[in-house]
Amino acid sequence: MKISVLGAGGWGTTLAVLLYRNGYSTTLWEFNREYAETLKEYRENFYYLPKVKIPKQIHITSDAEEALTGKDILLFVVPTQYIRKSFEGIKGFDLTRSTVISASKGIEVGTYMLVSDILSDTFKIKKSNLACLSGPSHAEEVSRKIPTTVTCAANDIKLAKHLSKIFSNDYFRVYSNNDLIGTELAGALKNVIAIAAGISDGAGFGDNTKAALMTRGMREIMRLGMKLKAKKETFFGLAGIGDLIVTCSSKHSRNRFVGEQIGRGRKLANILKEMKMVAEGVPTTKSAYELSRSFGIELPITEMVYRILFKNVTPHNGMLELMTRKLKTEHEIKEYHLT
């Protein structure tokens, strides 16, 4: 079996090494030709995954056609907002003979497409061959064989189960489900809530505050997910609450880091300029906010993160607005009246 990993960031590099260790012929594609040559020569991803060696048997290339041709599985780990630009030179390339998996998390600005939709719009793909890999899985830990569990989703559960066997080993356990849209949505939207959690930390709020943001944030993720026909149980699983917990709490979380810096009073543009890796939650916040407005769905935390990031609302004023909103029941409650 031949597998290509498209995107040589920390997560792409980690998954390429994992798949090689699992016994598969693995190619790692890097967009930047010069950096691809650096990876080939030094066998270490100095920018995104330092001190983790890339086995010499992993083929590294910057030629997209080479990486895409003749592969049984294509695993896309390119940041969501850069997928179209990365492959614009070969738009329409035929991938119908390959299983295509997304391991990126986000919602495209302007189109509001999830990654599987972007890939379908960019290449010739069989929808039945689409899947995604998501869950609480920082590359920094997986690359060091720290026990990790994630989920693989495909509309065809047989495909999801098949892929889960390919990725699984003694430190990386993969469950399966048949809710592709819910799994992708959960992975994308938890980054928005992670920014909120980081803002809370940076502004000096407490554990109580962050717990509230995570709990009510999951409610918002479910609200938008249900509108888009996702399955409710997906949000209580690894791609939902599991990924939310780790992303809101971890020192490795780029999105939580962005929020924390915002909470300390720094400007978004300056924070992003200094970052080597992409914080997918920033553009996804814009997409989620605009989606909620178009559907008429109330997402107070998402809206407040949007206003703090893009409309210069201060964290303390934003929190005050959230805390003084009209009171309501925690769950949907039907009222029964005795007659």
pTM above 0.85, yes or no: yes
Strands lying side by side in the sheet with 148-153: 59-61, 25-29, 2-6, 73-76, 99-102, 130-134, 148-153, 172-177
From residue 33, how far is each of 3, 29, 38, 245 by CA, in Å?
A: 20, 10, 9, 36
Q: In one letter, which amino acid is 315?
A: P
The structure tokens 């100095």 sit at 46
Backbone dihedral angles phi then psi of residue 141, each to the nearest 5 degrees: -90, -45
Mean pLDDT, to the nearest integer, of 136-154?
Answer: 98
CA distance 256 to 202: 10
Instruction: Say yes or no to pLDDT of 73 above 80.
Output: yes
CATH assignment of 2-178, among 1.10.10.10, 3.40.50.720, 3.40.50.300, 3.20.20.370: 3.40.50.720
CA distance 167 to 240: 20
Catalytic (active site) residue 190: yes
pLDDT of residue 334: 57
Q: In one letter, which amino acid is 66?
A: E
CA distance 253 to 135: 13
Over residues 190-209, the pLDDT tens digits come to 999 999 999 999 999 999 99
| Helix/strand/coil percentages in the chain, nearest 5 | 50, 15, 35
- Of the residues 51, 53, 165, 190, which is catalytic? 190
CA distance 156 to 167: 17
Class of domain 184-323: mainly alpha
Over residues 252-296, the pLDDT tens digits come to 999 999 999 999 999 999 999 999 888 999 999 999 999 999 999
Instruction: Say yes or no to pLDDT of 246 above 70.
Output: yes
From residue 234, how far is each of 148, 193, 196, 321 by CA, in Å?
A: 18, 17, 22, 30
Decide: 309 and 283 in contact? Cβ < 8 Å: no
Instruction: Say yes or no to pLDDT of 102 above 70.
Output: yes
Mean pLDDT of the chain: 96
- The residue with greater pLDDT, 86 or 331, is 86
The residue ranges of every structural domain in the chain are 2-178, 184-323
Over residues 9-35, the pLDDT tens digits come to 999 999 999 999 999 999 999 999 999
